[in-house]
């Protein structure tokens, strides 16, 4: 049913076209043609790059493939790539935000004041920012900058596996149930099952914090410590995530930690994610995370190191180092030269 009977067909714009952005565009492109709520054309904003003398947008629109960030998977032809952000969002009533979190403010600056009056948004971004008032979830930044309602989507969602159609679950956090249900229709497929819960911040902040825990998993993998040690990282990490969220935000639901965005995403990221892989390489090569991101990820972006910095800034301001020993140890290994093999010593101390 159209939203509040005021919008006949929701027009979707996707802001971002990286690894997950492109995999999500494949799902969205198909679903808008299956459900009557949606206009069948989807625009996707692409941060323009030149690849072998051709613009990435031109390649996507002609070959229907994002050869840099999700090679080998076709994008539906009703998804149109556009390098102009304002053109992408013109007339859009649904905005899907999926840029690496370090670029969010730049996106907000361009969009401010230019959004459809009835637009709502959903953030697929896993990250956060530390402002003067504390840790700011992405949904809060978007709501304040753009004055629109934001839902969040996060889960055990390694983009390539979803592109391959392998069964996965995800979680949508909503404040208004009708909006959560609309986004469920936009994203759900037979192989991508969506749970919804009224906990916008819990859903997205689990996604941000698990990236820090995944760095810890990569560190123990690099040290070849085995599965018991990794299980300890997962357990301690999840309990620090829960403590952190309960301490800093009101109304975080216990159930959220048992959804795909909680325990399931911690597990998948500790076994399969980029943060894990780069942290492992940091231990085995001694190279910096920054250098390894460039060498190993082909333009894709790490989210966990920046998030560790943001989270540990907050922990330090509040003098809570003893409450979050794993987060702090991971931060110190990434940024202060703490020897990786001390990861558990610091926790046990
Ligand atoms: N890749 C994955 O498996 C998953 C990623 N996510 C989250 O989705 C968000 C986006 O991640 P991905 O789509 O994987 O992106 P990505 O990691 O592939 O990042 C590359 C993207 O950043 C863009 N970019 C590079 N420089 C830029 C600039 N200066 N300004 C604006 N954009 C620029 C590139 O054009 C490209 O679209 C992140 O927060 C990530 O944590 C969530 C679930 C799964
Ligand atoms: O969020 C993810 C899986 O749910 C992907 O994690 P990475 O960014 O570590 O690859």
Nearest by Cα to 37 from 56, 68, 59, 11: 11
pLDDT at residue number 1: 44
Task: Name the DSSP letter for residue 263.
Answer: I
Give distance in angstroms: CA of 126 to centre of ligand 1: 10
Tokens of 6: 């005021």
Atom number in ligand 2 closest to CA 300 = 8
pLDDT at position 4 is: 64
Q: Which two tokens stand for residue 245?
A: 């969220």
Nearest CA to ligand 1 atom 36: 18
Q: Is 246 an annotated catalytic residue?
A: no
CB-neighbour burial class of residue 228 (10 A; exposed 0-12, middle 13-18, buried 19+): exposed
Q: Whose CA is nearest to atom 8 of ligand 2?
A: 274
Decide whether any atom of ligand 2 lies within 6 Å of the 156 Cβ. yes
99 lines ligand 1 (CB under 6 A): yes
C-alpha dist (Å) from residue 311 to 41, 248, 280: 39, 11, 21
267 lines ligand 2 (CB under 6 A): no
Determine whether the shortest distance from the Cβ of 158 to ligand 1 is under 6 A: yes
Check: CB of residue 329 under 8 Å from CB of residue 342: yes
Mutational test site, ligand 2, from 158, 203, 208, 296, max ligand atoms within 8 Å of CB: 158
ipTM: 0.99
> What are the tens digits of pLDDT across the range 299-319?
999 999 999 999 999 999 999
**Ligand 2 center–CA 157 separation, angstroms:** 7
Cα 124 to Cα 143: distance, rounded to the nearest angstrom: 14
- Ligand 2 neighbour 170 (Cβ under 6 A): no
Does the annotation place 168 within a ligand binding site? no
Question: Is 103 annotated as ligand-binding?
Answer: yes
User: Whose alpha carbon is nearest atom 6 of ligand 1?
Assistant: 20
pLDDT digits (tens, 9 = 90+) for 280-301: 999 999 999 999 999 999 999 9
Residues in Cβ contact with 4 at an 8 Å cutoff, skipping those fewer than 6 apart? 178
User: In this structure, what token pair is assigned to residue 115?
Assistant: 């959004």
Domains by residue range for the chain, with CATH: 3-198 (3.40.50.720), 202-348 (1.10.1040.10)
Average confidence score pLDDT of the chain: 96
- pLDDT less than 70: residues of the chain: 1-2, 4-5
Active-site entry in 11, 43, 210, 230: 210
Measured CA to CA, the distance from residue 181 to residue 83 in angstroms comes to 30
Residue 126 Cβ contacting ligand 1 at under 6 Å: yes
């Amino acid at each position: 049913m159209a939203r509040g009977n005021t919008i006949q067909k929701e027009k979707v714009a996707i802001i971002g076209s990286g690894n997950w952005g492109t995999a999500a565009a494949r799902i969205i492109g198909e679903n808008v043609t299956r459900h009557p709520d949606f206009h069948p054309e989807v625009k996707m904003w692409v941060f323009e790059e030149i690849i072998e003398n051709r613009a990435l947008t031109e390649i996507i629109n002609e070959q229907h493939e994002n050869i840099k960030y999700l090679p080998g998977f076709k994008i539906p032809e009703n998804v149109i790539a556009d390098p102009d952000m304002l053109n992408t969002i013109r007339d859009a009533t649904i905005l899907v935000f999926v840029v690496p979190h370090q670029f969010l403010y730049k996106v907000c600056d361009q969009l401010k004041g230019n959004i459809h009056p009835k637009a709502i948004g959903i953030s697929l971004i896993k990250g956060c920012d530390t402002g003067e008032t504390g840790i700011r979830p992405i949904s809060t930044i978007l709501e304040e900058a753009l004055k629109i309602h934001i839902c969040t989507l996060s889960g055990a969602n390694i983009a390539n596996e979803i592109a391959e159609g392998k069964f996965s679950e995800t979680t949508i956090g909503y404040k208004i149930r009708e909006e959560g249900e609309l986004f469920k229709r936009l994203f759900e497929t037979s192989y991508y099952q969506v749970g919804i819960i009224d906990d916008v911040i819990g859903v997205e902040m689990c996604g941000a914090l698990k990236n820090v825990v995944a760095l810890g998993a990569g560190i123990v993998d690099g040290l070849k410590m085995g599965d018991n040690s990794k299980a300890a990282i997962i357990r301690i990490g999840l309990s620090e995530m829960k403590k952190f969220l309960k301490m800093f935000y009101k109304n975080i639901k216990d159930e959220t930690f048992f959804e795909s965005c909680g325990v399931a995403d911690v597990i998948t990221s500790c076994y399969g994610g980029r943060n894990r892989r780069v942290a492992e390489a940091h231990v085995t090569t001694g190279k910096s995370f920054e250098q390894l991101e460039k060498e190993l990820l082909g333009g894709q972006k790490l989210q966990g190191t920046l998030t560790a910095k943001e989270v540990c800034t907050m922990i330090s301001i509040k003098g809570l180092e003893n409450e979050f020993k794993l987060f702090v140890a991971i931060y110190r290994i990434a940024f202060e030269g703490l020897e990786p093999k001390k990861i558990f010593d610091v926790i046990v101390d």
